[in-house]
Chain A
C-alpha cells in the first residue's frame, strides 16, 4: 500500500492510493482492542500474563525504534541508552523528590530526545555508516557513565525505588494492571508511529532512507528530517523506560544497558517483524519475546550461551534472507497473488 517514496505535497488530501491517518485508525483500534482482549483472557494466568506484558513493552520499544530505524533507515543499537535515561529519570524523581512517574514522563522524554539529537547531530551530517558505529559506542559510554555516577544510578548494585502502590505512583498490586499499562504505552507508540508514517515527516524519512541524494535534491532538509525522526523515536523509548522502572522497581546498569538484552534486541524484533512497516515490530515482539524466554529456559540452561547462539543465527539469517521481515514477506506474497488475478 505504500505510495512511492518521495515527498508528497499534502499527505492528508484524498489522493487515490495515498493512505491517510484517518484510514489507518480503524486498523490501529482493531489491533489495540485485540491485544486488550488477549490481556483479559490471560489475566488469570500469571506466567503468560507476564510474558505478554514484556512482549507489549518490547513491542512499544520496537515500534519506537522503527520510526528512525525503519522509516528513516538509520539503524541504532543504542536505544537502550534512551530506555535507561527514562528509567533513571523516573526512578530518581520518584525516590528523592516523590514526583509521580506520570509527571516524570515529560522530563524523561525531553531528556531522551535532547541527548539523542545531541549525539546524532555530528554523525547525521555525514553519509554512511557512522551512525551505527556511534550508537554502538554510545552504549559503551552510557555503561561507563552509569557505573561512574552511582549517585544517580546506584552503581553496579542498582537503583531501587520504594513500593508504594497506587495509580498516581504507577505501582500496582495486580499484575494485569501492568499489562494494561504497557498496552497503553504500545497503543500510544503505535499511534505516534501511524501519525509519523502518514505525515510529511514520514514521507521525508522514507525518501531519505531510499536515496539521500535524491531527497536532498528535492529540497528535503536531510539533517533536520533525520534529527526529528531520531528525537521522536528516542522520546518514545525514554517513555518506555519510565514504565519499565515502575514495573520492575529495581534497575542496574548491566541489565538496563546490555547491548544485547535491550539495544540489539529491539532492533532484532523490528527486523524479524518487518522493518519500516507499521505493525511489523509489534508482530516481531509477540513472536520473539516468548521465543527468547523459551530459549533461555531450555537451550541456555543446557549449553552456556546457547540461547544467544540461536538468536545470533536468527539475526544473521534475518539480515540475509528476510530483510523486510515477516510482514514484508507476507506483503510480497499477497502482492504476487494480487498481480496474478
Chain B
C-alpha cells in the first residue's frame, strides 16, 4: 500500500512536469500545427537561463522567470521569423529545420559549458513535505501548481481574449482569418513566441529539480508530443489531463516493469491513441487534421 501510494505520488508529480512542459508545445504543435522538435531545447535554454541568473546575478531561480520568459519569447519570435515562417507550407521541411535547430542549440550550449553539468540549489528545493508515508519536495509541488495555473491561463486566453480567438481562427483556416482582418503572420509569430516562452517557464521551474545538461531536452520532448496527441491537439484541458496520464503510466511502468523501458511505454501510449482515437481524449473528432490541409 505504501509503495503504491509512493508510486502514485511520483506519477502525479511527474505528470505535473509533463503537463507543464506540454502547455507550450500544445500551443505550437496543437494549435498552430508547427512541428517543433526543438521545444525541449527551448526548455533547456530556460534552465540554463535560470542557472545564469542564479550564478551571475545571485537571483533565486524562481525570480529569474521575469528575465528568462521574455528572453525566450523574443528568441521564439526570431526563430519563427527566420526559420518557421518561410516553411509554413512545408511541414516536412519544418521537421528538418526544427531538428537542425535542436542540434544547433544543444551543441552551442555544449560548446559554451564544455560538457560540465550544473545544478541549482534554492532554499525551497531542500524542503520536503510529508503526507502520511509519502514524501516529496516543495519544488515538485510548485511545478504541479504552476502547470495547473499555466494551463488554466492558456485555456482562458485562447477561449476568451481577442488574440486567443484570432489564434484559433488562424489555426482553423488561414485564408478566412485573413479575410476577417486578422494579421496572420503576426498572430503566428506571437503564438510561436508564447509557446517558446512557456517552454522557458517550464525550464526555470524544473531547474532546481534536474541536473542541467545540454541534452536534457530530449527527456521531455517525446513525452510532451505524446501528451499533446493524447489530450487532443489544441485541447488545453486534454494536455493537462494527458500529462498526468502519461506521468502515472511512466511511474507505474518504471516501478513494476523496468525504468529503462519508460520511453517505450510513452511510445506505446502515443501509438495506441493514434490507433484508437486519433483526435485524442478531449479533441473534437477530425480535429487532428484541421489546419493540415494544403494552404496557399
Q: A residues engaging B (CB < 8 A)?
A: 73, 75, 77, 119, 122-123, 125-130, 132-134, 136-138, 140-141, 143-145, 147-148, 211, 213, 260, 264, 267-268, 271, 303-306, 308-309, 311-316, 318-320, 323
B270→A323 contact, CB < 8 A: no
Which single residue of chain B is at the shortest CB-CB distance from A211? Answer: B294
When distances are taken between beta carbons in the complex, the residues of chain B under 8 Å from A143 are 263
A271 to B99, CA, bound (A): 13
A304→B100 contact, CB < 8 A: no
A306 to B104, CA, bound (A): 9
A315 to B275, CA, bound (A): 32
B104→A77 contact, CB < 8 A: no
Q: B residues engaging A (CB < 8 A)?
A: 33, 35, 37, 83, 86-87, 90-97, 99-104, 106-108, 110-111, 114-115, 214, 218, 222, 225-226, 229, 258, 260-264, 266-267, 270-271, 274-275, 278, 288-289, 292-294
B263→A323 contact, CB < 8 A: no
Which single residue of chain A is at the shortest CB-CB distance from B294? Answer: A211
A129: contacting residue among B95, B103, B111, B275, CB under 8 A = B95
A134→B104 contact, CB < 8 A: no
When distances are taken between beta carbons in the complex, the residues of chain B under 8 Å from A313 are 100, 104
- A328: shortest Cβ distance to chain B, in Å? 13
When distances are taken between beta carbons in the complex, the residues of chain A under 8 Å from B267 are 134, 137-138, 140-141
A145→B264 contact, CB < 8 A: yes
B100: contacting residue among A122, A145, A147, A319, CB under 8 A = A319
Contacts A77-B99, A267-B96 given; indicate if A123 touches B274 (C-beta within 8 A): yes
- B233: shortest Cβ distance to chain A, in Å? 9
B222→A140 contact, CB < 8 A: yes
When distances are taken between beta carbons in the complex, the residues of chain A under 8 Å from B294 are 211
Which single residue of chain B is at the shortest CB-CB distance from A317? Answer: B100
When distances are taken between beta carbons in the complex, the residues of chain B under 8 Å from A315 are 96-97, 99-100, 103
- A317: shortest Cβ distance to chain B, in Å? 8
A308 to B222, CA, bound (A): 21
A136→B100 contact, CB < 8 A: no
Which single residue of chain A is at the shortest CB-CB distance from B275? Answer: A122
- B72: shortest Cβ distance to chain A, in Å? 19
Contacts A126-B274, A144-B262, A315-B97 given; indicate if A132 touches B92 (C-beta within 8 A): yes
Contacts A145-B264, A315-B99 given; indicate if A132 touches B107 (C-beta within 8 A): no
A303 to B33, CA, bound (A): 35
Which single residue of chain B is at the shortest CB-CB distance from A303? Answer: B111
- B288: shortest Cβ distance to chain A, in Å? 6
When distances are taken between beta carbons in the complex, the residues of chain B under 8 Å from A306 are 107, 111
B103: contacting residue among A133, A260, A303, CB under 8 A = A260
A128→B289 contact, CB < 8 A: yes
When distances are taken between beta carbons in the complex, the residues of chain B under 8 Å from A303 are 111
A137 to B220, CA, bound (A): 12
Which single residue of chain A is at the shortest CB-CB distance from B273? Answer: A122
Additional A-B contact list (18), CB under 8 Å, known A130-B274, A148-B258, A308-B107: A127-B289, A127-B293, A128-B91, A129-B292, A134-B274, A137-B266, A140-B218, A141-B263, A143-B263, A144-B261, A145-B261, A267-B96, A309-B108, A309-B111, A312-B107, A313-B104, A316-B104, A320-B97
Which single residue of chain B is at the shortest CB-CB distance from A147? Answer: B260
A312: contacting residue among B95, B104, B288, CB under 8 A = B104
A318 to B93, CA, bound (A): 9
- A134: shortest Cβ distance to chain B, in Å? 7
A320→B288 contact, CB < 8 A: no
A316: contacting residue among B101, B262, B293, CB under 8 A = B101
Which single residue of chain B is at the shortest CB-CB distance from A311? Answer: B103
A264→B266 contact, CB < 8 A: no
A309 to B111, CA, bound (A): 9
